[in-house]
Amino acid sequence: MQLRRATMDDALDVLTWRNDETTRKNSFTQEEISEENHLKWFKRKLDDNNCLMYILEDETGSLGSIRLDITDKIAEISYMIAPAARGKGLGKEIIKLIDNVPELETAVTDNRIQSLVGFVNEDNVASARCFEENGYTKLIAGDIRCYIKNLWSE
């Protein structure tokens, strides 16, 4: 099980996972996304220096995706597991593996990232567990749970 950088070849898998009913329910923008809009967005993200996007895979193929969007030294996590692969511990695994990608380690050393943050809807119990199991601290704002982990050392 490993993370690798995403490429345009992953765009349609990511669209399928994003348009799945459960993912849409848990997302802050819930409408179905067209292939045309998704492909433009995906290319923009791959070209964006403030975005790091990875695919979780094993010998059977791609199992999920995780993205870090960097703003003001905070990297916001967005992630999904392929619908058929959910409930087998992979959500916890993908949050664990992101800590060790070399680009994140470099960004922390260069002081481009100080914290990892995930925003979770209050009814998304599985995602909350993934962050809690990986040592994130929970902050509550209305019906949003914010999970945060500081990466810098003084």
Ligand X SMILES: CC(C)(COP(=O)(O)OP(=O)(O)OC[C@H]1O[C@@H](n2cnc3c(N)ncnc32)[C@H](O)[C@@H]1OP(=O)(O)O)[C@@H](O)C(=O)NCCC(=O)NCCS
Q: Tell which positions 132-151 bind ligand X, by CB under 6 A.
A: 133
Taking CB under 6 A as the criterion, which residues in 24-43 touch ligand X?
26
Q: Which of 127, 122, 126, 129 is nearest to 144 (CA)?
A: 122
74-81 and 115-121 beta bridge pairing: parallel
Residues 51-90 binding ligand X (CB under 6 A) are 79-81, 86-90
Task: Let me know: does 116 contact 151? Beta carbons within 8 Å.
Answer: yes
Stretch that binds ligand X, among 22-30, 34-42, 108-116, 135-143 (CB under 6 A): 22-30
Contact letters for ligand X, residues 91-130 (x by CB under 6 A): xx-------------------------x-x---xxxx-xx
Shortest distance, position 110 Cβ to ligand X, whole Å: 27
Nearer to ligand X, 108 or 145 (CB): 145
Strand partners, 138: 147
Sheet holding 137-141, edge to edge: 2-5, 51-58, 61-71, 74-81, 115-121, 144-150, 137-141
Q: How far is the CB of 91 from ligand X (least distance, A)?
A: 2
Please give the structure tokens belonging to residue 68: 């870090």
Pick the closer one to ligand X by CB: 55 or 91: 91
Do residues 145 and 120 touch, judged by C-beta distance below 8 A? yes
Q: Give residues in contact with ligand X (CB under 6 A).
A: 22-23, 26, 79-81, 86-92, 118, 120, 124-127, 129-130, 133
